[in-house]
Amino acid sequence: MAAIFGVIPNFQTGTMWFNRPTSPNDIVALLEDVKLNANNPWYSRLLRVTEYAAQHSQNKYQVSMTDLGG
């Protein structure tokens, strides 16, 4: 979810990490201000992959969203 809400991923060999230092006192305010940007490339990619999987599941399995580092 971090990538969808604007945190820049840090790619490393075989993995990726997210880092947004936030004071515990600021976490609630930060989350309350989060806005979904439908033009975010990570959101667009996740939506396409999820829709593709759902269409091809033929109701044989449930498709859900992964946690993208959040």
Residue 68 pLDDT > 60: no
Please say whether the beta carbons of 19 and 10 come within 8 A. yes
Helix or strand holding residue 51 (H, E): helix 41-56
Question: 9, 17 in Cβ contact below 8 A?
Answer: yes
Query: If you average pLDDT over every residue of the chain, what do you get?
Result: 88
Determine the pLDDT at residue 69. 58
Model confidence over 16-45: pLDDT tens digits? 888 888 899 998 998 898 888 889 998 999
4 against 39, higher pLDDT: 39
pLDDT at 59 over 60: yes
Contacts (Cβ under 8 Å, ≥6 apart) of 6: 37, 40
Asked if 18 and 7 touch (Cβ cutoff 8 Å), the reply is: yes
Report which DSSP code applies to 56: H
